Each structure stands twice: as structure tokens, then as C-alpha cells.
Amino acid sequence: MRSVTYSMGVSLDGYIVDPQGSLDWGAPDPEVFRFVTDETRELGVHLMGRRLYETMLYWEDADPEALDASEREWAALWNPLPKVVFSTTLGSVRGNARLASGGLAQEIERLRAEPGEGGIAIGGATLAAEAASLGLIDEYRTRVHPVLLGGGIPFFPRSERRVDLELVENRTFASGVLYLRYRVKREASH
């Protein structure tokens, strides 16, 4: 069964964007960018909300001549990757994206049942919070940046539900970014 992963850059105090909505504090250095590119190779589909979809359209429209070699490699992976966009305001999407035809749980159930390789990634805190509240996330992957933002949009959903995690991998990059990969501990069914 395909696993569902929530992976993003996050500040040390737990935010994915600062109070003004900026991501500039989290621009990856070349080593981290390579790591993210390699992680993307493992994906079969990416689920995202409207805001992340609109942000990532940059790669659909980017002039390849304006990109360096690593950015061209990223775009060559990202653009053909199937994407499912959850939005009630968008009428259409471009590239290898489609609008979700059902709710998040139904989409994930359908994608898990489909044959195919690669994991299911969720991007965006709002969509991930919904997936977390439904118990649909199998792994959390954070790239913790050495910065305190003091507010913004939190990476982790604020809920009263406890989720036990098991550390699977950790890595420290030269820039001080710390990668943490946790698997959700599931109760064994009897």
C-alpha cells in the first residue's frame, strides 16, 4: 500500500511561512535542494491545496534558460509528476494536475488502491491538517531551518489528538538544516 507523507521546510518554532506569508527564510542551499530533489524521485503523486498549487506554478512557467542545472533537473521531475489539487475556488488547473473529484479521504483511498509506484505526498499545512485529523498521514518529514519566525502558519496541526511517532532517519546539513523523518506508530490490529 502506498504511504502518505507530509514533508516541508519548517522553522525551529514550527512554522512553514512567517507572519507575512513569506517563505524566503527557507530557501534551500544546494545540498538541501539536492536532497529534496532526490526525495521527489520517490513520489508517485502530490496532493496540494490551492495556495501551494499557485506557488508551484512557477516551475510550469519557468524559462529553462533562466534556471541552473539543479533547478532544471527539479523542474524535469516536478512538472510531469501527477498532482491532485484541492480547491473550491479554482475552475481549472494546468500541467499534470487535476482538481480533486472527492474529499481528501476518498482521494487517498483511491490513490492507495491504484497500482503504481511511488508514495503519496501532501503539501500545505491546511490540507495536511485535515489528513492528520483523519489519521491518513504515515510519515512526517521536516527540514528544520535554524530560524525562529515567532508566528505564521504552523507545520503541525493544532489538535487534541495524540500521535506517537518513531524516528526513522535524521541528518544534519552543513547549513544547519536538520532533516527529521518520523513514521506514525499504528496500533497493531488483532
Domain assignment of residue 125, given as a range? 4-184
Tell whether 189 is covered by a domain. Answer: no
* pLDDT for res 156: 82
Burial 31-56 (b: 16+ CB within 10 A, else e): ebbebbbebbeebebbbbbbbbbeeb
Tell whether 147 is covered by a domain. Answer: yes
Tell whether 166 is covered by a domain. Answer: yes
CATH of the domain at 107: 3.40.430.10
Of the pLDDT bands very low, low, confident and very high (cuts 50, 70, 90), residue 188 is low
Tell whether 91 is covered by a domain. Answer: yes
CA distance 187 to 94: 40
* pLDDT for res 190: 46
* Cβ–Cβ < 8 Å for 48, 56: yes
Alpha-helical segments (H) within the chain: 30-40, 50-61, 69-78, 104-113, 125-133
* Tally of domains in the chain: 1
Tell whether 45 is covered by a domain. Answer: yes
Tens-digit pLDDT profile for residues 168-183 = 999 999 999 999 999 9
Tens-digit pLDDT profile for residues 75-121 = 999 999 999 999 989 999 999 999 998 899 999 999 998 887 899 99
Tell whether 102 is covered by a domain. Answer: yes
Tell whether 190 is covered by a domain. Answer: no
CA distance 111 to 117: 11
Tens-digit pLDDT profile for residues 24-73 = 898 889 999 999 999 999 999 999 999 899 989 999 888 989 999 999 99
Of 127, 105, 109, 118, nearest to 43 by C-alpha is: 118
Tens-digit pLDDT profile for residues 11-28 = 999 999 899 988 889 888
